[in-house]
Each structure stands twice: as structure tokens, then as C-alpha cells.
A = this chain, B = another copy of it.
């Protein structure tokens, strides 16, 4: 059981890590820079986290679960798979809009963090859960005849990539209307999954 002050320190450090990574990129986010940003000594990080790996892992889990926490209930509340799919896209878009820094950090980590042998630590391999949950909507829609037949994994990868890509584009072009982009994307996916009219 962690003490309260311990938890507060960890939260503070995680927050500083997020901001530092978002601003300078994963490769340039040394512990020294994160510590400086948090206005604490370098040693504090080592004291509260087993190593850099654990800190990064905490950042990922925290950001990731925050998204799920917000998006999941909205999707669940949708009346059917078609609406759920649309809601998923829109909800993620809104979350991203409101938490740019966190998502930038997450994105940085996902394609920057590597094991000592060079393998991605949080890459696509760790998105299995995500794909599976998307596939549930697809299956449900296909079973009820609303969606046409298609490979669910391919669609899941396509959708997830398109969402990531929208975010990535918006980060580089902040004037881009992300909400409208997501609405358009929802339309495209809708057309791609919908069963042909009899």
C-alpha cells in the first residue's frame, strides 16, 4: 500500500513526464529533463520508480485507461452497433481534442520506446485488446445483418490506424478541424461496414 505522499509524488512525476515527452519527444525526454521540468532532483525519480521503464509504463497505463474510462460508457450507451461505432470515433476525437498533451506523449512513447534489443515496447502488439473490443461491435452488427460481411481484424486495424492518423495530422496542423475530420471519418466507416440494401 502506497502512502498518500508517495502517490502524490508519483502523480507529479508522471505529469511532468507527460509534458516533457510531449514537448521534446521521447528520445529527448531524459530523466534529467523530466526532473527539471518537475522542479525536483533527479534522484527522486529513481527513488519512486524502479527505473525509466517503470515510469514510462505508468504514463502509458494512466493515459490509456483515462481514455477508456471516458469513451467506454458513451459507446456502451449507444442503441446499436452502428451508433456505437460512430460514437466510438466521435468520442475518441473529443477526448483527444481535450487532452492533446497526454495523447502526444502516448504517441511519442508508442513509437519511440524500445527494449534494449530494439523491439517496440508498446507497439501494435499491445493493441490486441483494442482490436478485440472493436471486433465485438463488428460481430454484433454482422450478426444482426446491419453490417455486411468483411474481415473484422482488417477493419479494426483500418479504423484504429485512421483514428491515429487523424490525431497525428492534427498535431502537425493544429488549425485542422479535428471534430469535422472525425465526423467525416465516421461517415466513411459507416459506408464501409454497412450492408448493401436488399
Q: With A112-B27, A120-B25 as known contacts, state yes or no: A169 contacts B185, CB within 8 Å.
A: no
Are B164 and A157 in touch, CB under 8 angstroms? Answer: no
Chain B residues near A24 (CB-CB < 8 A): 114, 117-118
Is A154 close to B, CB under 8 A?
Answer: yes
Is A187 close to B, CB under 8 A?
Answer: yes
CA distance A181 to B156 in the complex (A): 11
- Which one of B23, B181, B191 lies within 8 Å of A118 (CB-CB)? B23
Closest residue of chain B to A158, judged by CB? B162
Would you call the interface of chain A mostly helix, strand, loop, or mixed? helix
Are A168 and B118 in touch, CB under 8 angstroms? Answer: no
Residues 99 to 135 of chain A near chain B (Cβ within 8 Å): 111-112, 114, 117-120, 123-125
Is A180 close to B, CB under 8 A?
Answer: yes
Are A188 and B28 in touch, CB under 8 angstroms? Answer: no
Chain B residues near A118 (CB-CB < 8 A): 23-25, 27-28
Is A184 close to B, CB under 8 A?
Answer: yes
Chain B residues near A23 (CB-CB < 8 A): 118
Are A165 and B158 in touch, CB under 8 angstroms? Answer: yes
CA distance A157 to B168 in the complex (A): 9
Chain B residues near A189 (CB-CB < 8 A): 192
Is A155 close to B, CB under 8 A?
Answer: yes
CA distance A135 to B85 in the complex (A): 26
Binary flags per residue of A179-197, CB closer than 8 Å to B gives 1, else 0? 0110011011101100000
